Chain A
Amino acid sequence: MLKMTDVKKVFRTELVETHALRDFNLQVNEGDFVAVTGPSGSGKTTFLNIAGLLETFEGGQYELDGQDVSNLNDKARSQLRNEKIGFIFQSFNLIPDLNLFDNVDVPLRYRGFNSAERKKRIEESLEMVGLANRMKHLPSQLSGGQQQRAAIARALAGQPRFLLADEPTGNLDTKMALSVLELLKTINDFGTTIVMVTHDQHLAEQAKRNIYVRDGKVSESGEVVSLENAVNA
C-alpha cells in the first residue's frame, strides 16, 4: 500500500516559489494499476518522484507499505527503492556502456545478492520480457521497444512490490507501446502494484484506476475519463 496524506512539495529558486504539490492525497492499494494523468506542469512527475523516494517533500505524510518514509535518511531511502520499488522511465535509462545482462544486474548488485542468485534473476526476468537471447547486446543494438522491455526486466529483477512508470511508452510507436502495456498488465496480474504517469488517454484507459492531477492536487479520481482530458489528449 502506498498512502500520501497532505503531501507538499515546493521548488524554490531565488526569485520564484513553485508549489509542485499542495495537499496531495492519494492511496494506492495492493495489486492496483493506477494511471496518473494531467497537463504538463501539473505535478505528475513530482508525485512519481516522491512516491518513488527519488525526492523528498516538505509537509504531510507518506507511508509506503505501512512504513512512514518522511524522515528517512538517504541510505534507508536508497535501500527501500532498491527493495520495494521498480522504475520504468520514458527514455528507458539503460546504461549505454553495459549490455543487457549488466544493466539488469545493476539493482541486484545494490541488493547484495550473490552472483548465482543474480544470474538466476537476470535470466528469469529477461526471459519474461522475451529478451533472453539478447543478454550480451548493448542497448544501442536494440529497438526502442526492446530497450523498454529490458528496462522493465531490470525493474522486475528485484521483485519489487511497486512498479513506478514515467511515460513508459512516450518514446515508442503505437505498436511497441501496446506490447509494453500488455507486459505491464501481465506483471500487474502477477500481483505487482503499478503506478503509471502518462499523458496518453488511451493508455490510461487500460489501467484499473485513473487519477487526474492538476495544480499539484488530485482533482479527480475514478475510472471515468473526463471530457476535458480526452480533448487534451
Chain B
Amino acid sequence: MNSSKWEIGPIFRALMRNKVGAVLIAIQIAVTMTIVVNSIFIILERAELMKRDSGIDEANSFYLTTTGFATDFNAQSTTTEDLEAIRNTPGVLDAIQINAIPTSGSGWSMSFQTEAGEGLEDEGAAVYMIDENGLNTLDIELIAGENFTPSDIRWRAPGSPDWPETVIITKALSESLFPDENWQFALGKTIFISSNQPMIVKGIVDKIQAPWVGWSDLEHTVLVPEKTLFNSNRYFIRAEPGQRDAIMPEIEEMLASSNKGRIIRGMRTVEETRERSYRSDAAMIKILSTVMVILTIVTGLGIVGLASFSVNRRKKQIGTRRALGASQSAIVRYFMLENFLISTVGVVLGAGLTIGLNVLLVNMFSLPALDWYFVPAGMLVLWLVGQIAVFGPAKKAANIPPAMATRTV
C-alpha cells in the first residue's frame, strides 16, 4: 500500500475550510460516546448487582403472612398447626416460620461484636429467625458446625429484648468479625448481640443474603433459633421442583379456611420479590439500552445525512477526481478517511467528556469509577459507527460517473 493514497493532509486542509459541519459531527460523536460509554458502564454494573445470588432456593419458594385479629387468636398453636399442615401438603418440600425474606427489602438488623461492652467495634447483620428445618427450607449449606436441634428453638414474644443462646452465622460475617483468622475460626466462639448479650456460634453457612439488596454488607447474616408469637407471622415454603405454582393457591385456601380468626395476605414467590427489588435496576438497564441504541442510530443517520449532502454538493469535484484518475475505491477511501479524521477528533474529545461525566456521576451519585478500558472500547465503537454510516454515501459517491467532470451544471 502506497502512502500517497492516504490523502490525510489534503483532506484535513479541506476539512479546515468547512469546519462547522465537521465540528458538528465531531461533537455529536463525542457526546454520543460519552452517553454510550457511561450507559454501558452503568448497565454492566447494574447487571452485576442483579446477578448476585441470594443463596436460597428462589425458583421453588414462596411466602405469605398470616395476621391474627380475633381476640382468642393464639399465635403459638396456630403456627404449630399451620407448619404441620403445610409440611404435610403434597408438593411441599419443607416450610418454616421466618421473620423476613431475603431480597424483600424489609427485615431486622442487629449489631454483633466479639467482645461485650458498649462503644466497641461491631458489625451489623441481618437476623432471620428460623427453626431446625430452616437450612433445608431455605436450601442453604452448612459448611461448619451443626444445625439447630428442636430443643434450641424458643418462642419470641412481642417486645422481647433478649436472644437465644446459639446462632448460626454466614461465612462472610465470620470473616468480618474475625478479620485476622480463617472463616472456621468463629465456630464455637461467643459473639455478642446488641453490645452485651452472648450467643455461641453453633454453625457457619455458606451464604444467605440480607433482605436489603442495596446494603454494602449484603452477606452479613445470622440465623437464630426462634419462632415469633406476633400477631403477624410469616411462613416461608419451599415446594418440590415444578410444584410451586400449583400449591400456592392450595396452601392459601387451606390456611384461610383452617382458622377464621386471621387473614392470609402478601403471598408472593421469592422470584417476584427479587424482581420487585431489582425492578429499578432492570428498568434502568432497559432505559439506558434503549437510549443508547436510539442515540447511536440518530448519530449514525446524522452522519449519513451530512455525508450524503456533502456528496451531492461535491458531485462535480468527485467527477473531476475520477477524471484525474481516481478509481472507485479511491473515492470510497476518500470519504471513509475524511470521516475517520472527523471521528478521531470526536472520540478524542469524547474520551475526555466520558471521563468527565463519570467523575461527575461519581461525585454526585457515588457511582463507581469507570474502568479505563471502557474508554478505548468506546472510541473503537464510535469509529466503527462512523465508518459504517459513511460507507453508503461513500459508495454513492464512487458511483458518480467521471463524465460528470465535463458536464456543465
Touch A–B, Cβ below 8 Å: yes
Supposing A98-B14, A102-B13 touch, asked if A49 and B403 sit within 8 A by C-beta, the answer is yes
In the bound complex, residues from chain A placing their C-beta under 8 Å from that of B5 are 109-110, 112
Asked if B405 contacts A97 (CB within 8 A), the reply is: no
The segment from B47-55, B277-285, B326-334 that touches chain A is B326-334
In the bound complex, residues from chain A placing their C-beta under 8 Å from that of B317 are 93, 95-96
CA distance A95 to B347 in the complex (A): 29
Which residues of B (1-32) have their CB < 8 Å from a CB of A? 2-5, 7, 9-10, 13-14, 17-18
Q: Which residue of B lies closest to A166 (CB)?
A: B406
Asked if B405 contacts A54 (CB within 8 A), the reply is: yes
CA distance A40 to B2 in the complex (A): 43
Supposing A91-B408, A110-B5, A112-B2 touch, asked if A102 and B10 sit within 8 A by C-beta, the answer is yes
Asked if A107 contacts B325 (CB within 8 A), the reply is: yes
Contact with B along A84-109 (1 / 0, CB 8 A): 00010111010111110010011111
In the bound complex, residues from chain B placing their C-beta under 8 Å from that of A48 are 406
Kindly name the residue among B2, B13, B323, B326 whose own CB sees the greatest number of chain A CB atoms within 10 A.
Answer: B323
Size of the B side of the interface (Cβ < 8 Å), in residues, is 31
In the bound complex, residues from chain B placing their C-beta under 8 Å from that of A78 are 322, 325-328, 330, 402
Mostly helix, strand, loop or mixed at chain B's interface? helix
Asked if A95 contacts B14 (CB within 8 A), the reply is: yes
Which residues of B (326-373) have their CB < 8 Å from a CB of A? 326-330
In the bound complex, residues from chain A placing their C-beta under 8 Å from that of B7 are 109
In the bound complex, residues from chain B placing their C-beta under 8 Å from that of A154 are 324
A52 interface residue (CB < 8 Å to B): yes
Kindly name the residue among A49, A99, A138 whose own CB sees the greatest number of chain B CB atoms within 10 A.
Answer: A49
Supposing A81-B323, A110-B327 touch, asked if A87 and B10 sit within 8 A by C-beta, the answer is no
Number of residue pairs spanning A and B whose beta carbons lie under 8 angstroms apart: 105
In the bound complex, residues from chain B placing their C-beta under 8 Å from that of A113 are 4
Asked if B406 contacts A89 (CB within 8 A), the reply is: yes
In the bound complex, residues from chain B placing their C-beta under 8 Å from that of A74 are 327-328
Kindly name the residue among A78, A95, A106 whose own CB sees the greatest number of chain B CB atoms within 10 A.
Answer: A78
A115 interface residue (CB < 8 Å to B): yes
Asked if A83 contacts B325 (CB within 8 A), the reply is: yes
How distant is B15 from chain A, measured CB to nearest CB, in Å?
8
In the bound complex, residues from chain B placing their C-beta under 8 Å from that of A55 are 401-403
Contact of B325 among A79, A95, A97, A99 (CB under 8 A): A79
Supposing A98-B10, A112-B4 touch, asked if A93 and B405 sit within 8 A by C-beta, the answer is yes
Asked if A89 contacts B325 (CB within 8 A), the reply is: no
B320 interface residue (CB < 8 Å to A): yes
In the bound complex, residues from chain B placing their C-beta under 8 Å from that of A105 are 10
Contact with B along A42-85 (1 / 0, CB 8 A): 00010011001111000000000000000000110011011100
CA distance A55 to B406 in the complex (A): 11
Contact of A98 among B4, B13, B325, B327 (CB under 8 A): B13
CA distance A55 to B402 in the complex (A): 7
Asked if A90 contacts B408 (CB within 8 A), the reply is: yes
In the bound complex, residues from chain B placing their C-beta under 8 Å from that of A52 are 323
Supposing A95-B317, A118-B4 touch, asked if A110 and B403 sit within 8 A by C-beta, the answer is no
In the bound complex, residues from chain B placing their C-beta under 8 Å from that of A90 are 406, 408
A-B contact pairs, 11 of them (CB 8 A): A78-B326, A81-B324, A90-B406, A96-B317, A98-B14, A102-B13, A102-B14, A109-B4, A110-B324, A115-B4, A138-B17
| Interface pairs A-B: 4 shortest CB-CB | A82-B325, A97-B14, A78-B327, A107-B324
